[in-house]
Amino acid sequence: MEWLNYHHLFYFWTVMRAGSLTAACARLSLAPSTVSAQLGRLEETMGGKLFRRVGRNLEPTDLGHLVYRYADEIFSLGREMMDTVRGRPLAGPLSLKAGIVDVLPKFIVRRLLEPALQLPERIRLVCLEDKEDALLAELAMHTLDVVLSDSPLRAGLSVKAYSHLLGECGITFFAVETLASRLQADFPRSLHETPMLLPMEMTALRGALDRWFASLGIRPAIAGEFDDSALIMVFGQEGDGVFVAPTIIENEVLRQHQVQVVGRTQAVKERYYAISVERVIKHPAVAAIFEAARHNLFVMK
């Protein structure tokens, strides 16, 4: 068995938390040369560089990020052990670091994450919103516990992860009252040449919408394309065009954006996935999200 020198790991963990070698040395009351030597020995153990020099600063490598995540869990668990042994209240909440693909509606994200926040144990939630590829890279380095997405993991990616379907639902079309009132009677044909606010091309929803429009011979007048669903709703609220959102958040959209329903369809589905490095979900907060979505939030067909 290969043994890890936890003193070396502790010095590395302190440098990461302090943000610099100088600040870490001040906390540890050690000379920079001493800490640098210990970091060098840890790098020998790990078989790679933990930091790279950028100008006058040190930045963690991919390996450094990975080792830090494990170190943080190790020393957090150590504190918890000592608190338990000494009969002290457990110090910190369970951490849930969730990556959110930026096309997901904020209402949906809140609904999906809510079960984790309702667990008996305290949860410290950290949300990072970004493009899918950037989030999957963070997931591969174990800096995220889960990525919430509107599409499963694409074939051919080098990331070793698993897609867990949370659920699916149809979509609702919305518009301000003056526009909605003249479109409702002949929906969906009324959408032909009507100004529409759509998600960007290459998104799962946009592809499904384009195929549905084509099957019905509908050519909407595209008034705007957006990579932020919240921004689409803001423009829609101002009367700039018809927009869509998942039917399960219809009430929230109506309440917050003062719009009306133009129509609904089940022919276009929004699907939501939890992507994790675990084939069988073990993180209690991620498991709560999965179970609640499958049995409560969505009606699985």
- Residue in the structure block whose two tokens are 């429009």: 213
Give just the sign of the alpha carbon dihedral 75, 81, 87, 93: positive
Separation between Cα atoms, residue 54 and residue 148, nearest integer Å:
32
* Fold entry, domain 94-167+272-297: D-Maltodextrin-Binding Protein; domain 2 (3.40.190)
Summarize pLDDT for 18-72 with one digit per residue, the tens.
888 888 888 888 898 998 999 999 999 999 999 988 877 788 888 988 898 888 8
From the number of C-beta atoms within 10 Å of its C-beta (0-12, 13-18, 19+), residue 158 rates as exposed
Q: Is 220 helix (H, G, I), strand (E, B) or coil?
A: coil
Task: For the beta carbon of residue 117, count every other beta carbon within 10 angstroms.
Answer: 14
Tokens encoding 115? 């079960």
Q: What is the pTM of this model?
A: 0.67
Summarize pLDDT for 205-226 with one digit per residue, the tens.
999 999 999 999 999 999 999 9
Q: Could you tell me the pLDDT band of residue 88, with boundaries at 50, 70 and 90?
A: low
Tokens encoding 79? 């504190």
Start-to-end CA distance of the chain, whole Å, equals 49
Summarize pLDDT for 110-150 with one digit per residue, the tens.
999 999 988 888 888 999 999 888 898 888 878 888 999 99
φ, ψ dihedrals at 122, nearest 5°: -70, 140
Q: Could you tell me the pLDDT band of residue 301, with boundaries at 50, 70 and 90?
A: very low
Q: Could you tell me the pLDDT band of residue 296, with boundaries at 50, 70 and 90?
A: confident
Average confidence score pLDDT of the chain: 88
pLDDT of 91 over the 70 cut: no
The answer to whether domain 169-271 has CATH 3.40.190.10 is yes
Summarize pLDDT for 164-190 with one digit per residue, the tens.
999 899 999 999 999 999 999 999 999
Residue 262: name the closest of 202, 172, 200 by CA.
Answer: 172
pLDDT of 300 over the 50 cut: no
Start-end ranges of CATH 1.10.10.10 in the chain?
6-85
Summarize pLDDT for 235-263 with one digit per residue, the tens.
999 999 999 999 999 999 999 999 999 99
What lies within 8 Å, CB to CB, of 225 at 6+ separation is: 197, 198, 199, 200, 201
Give yes or no for a contact between 196 and 221, defined as CB atoms under 8 angstroms apart.
Answer: yes
Hey, which bits of 15-161 come out as E strands?
A: 51-54, 57-60, 94-101, 123-130, 146-149
What is the dotted CATH code of the domain comprising 6-85?
1.10.10.10
Start-end ranges of CATH 3.40.190.10 in the chain?
94-167+272-297, 169-271
Give yes or no for a contact between 144 and 97, defined as CB atoms under 8 angstroms apart.
Answer: yes
